[in-house]
Amino acid sequence: MREEVPSLFLKGAGFLCIIYGTTALGYLYGRNLECYINHLHALKQIILMIAGEMEYTGYPLGEIFERIAPQLEAPYRNWILYLQREIEKRVDEEFYVLWRRGIEDALSILHLKEKHKRQLMELGMLLGTSNSENALSAIRLSADRLDYEIEIEREQLTAKKRVGYCMGIFGGLFLVILFI
């Protein structure tokens, strides 16, 4: 009988750890969704910063990137600085190629969804081939589209977070029942 008490205590502690761990995973899932929305919002702000610099200074893209990079945090700063450096030393590559490579390399840490990557890629295509008036229109359109995507993600956030929490709790309970 005495040997069963510590055994039951250890099992109970193990079950609580399992439930706590899976609940924490559900919580982290929800936090990752919030971070993703913050990343989209930061990208929108960068796009608007580029538009503002284009409109008010009329500088070429390389100088615009040099001006806005100090205001950004990593990985966005790394992306913009990469673009600025590559534009300065550009041999015969089109701007779109540099833009795409920057998104794939410097922004890969954000794990953007394909549709959001595609939106950024389209913006790079338009920035590199348009005059400043068309580029500003493309930037504003891209910012509006990103704003729409952010709203969609926010609308889905509460439900997805709730599902994440519930899956964490019920996943833990399932494991506890499985081990009993």
Task: List pLDDT tens digits, range 25-72.
Answer: 889 998 999 999 999 999 999 999 999 998 888 888 889 999 999 999
Nearest in space to 80 (alpha carbons), one of 111, 112, 56, 45: 45
Label residue 140 exposed, middle or buried (CB < 10 Å: 0-12, 13-18, 19+): middle
- For residue 177, pLDDT over 80 is answered with yes
Q: Quick: pLDDT tens for 90-112.
A: 766 788 888 898 899 888 899 99
The predicted model gives 78-86 an average pLDDT of 91
**Rounded to an integer, what distance in angstroms lies between the CA atom of residue 61 and that of residue 69?**
12
Q: What is the pTM of this model?
A: 0.82
Rounded-to-10 torsion of CA 41, 37, 120, 61 = 30
Helix residue spans in 58-131 (DSSP H): 61-68, 76-88, 95-106, 114-129
DSSP 8-state symbol, 53: H
Chain mean pLDDT for the chain: 87
pLDDT of 114: 92
Output b/e per residue, 55-76; b: 16+ Cβ within 10 A: eeeeeebbebbbbbbeebeebb
Domain ranges in the chain are 17-179
Q: Would the CA dihedral through 75, 81, 84, 89 be positive or negative?
A: negative
Tallying the residues shown for the chain, one arrives at 180
pLDDT tens string 119-162: 999 888 888 776 778 888 888 889 999 999 999 999 998 888 88
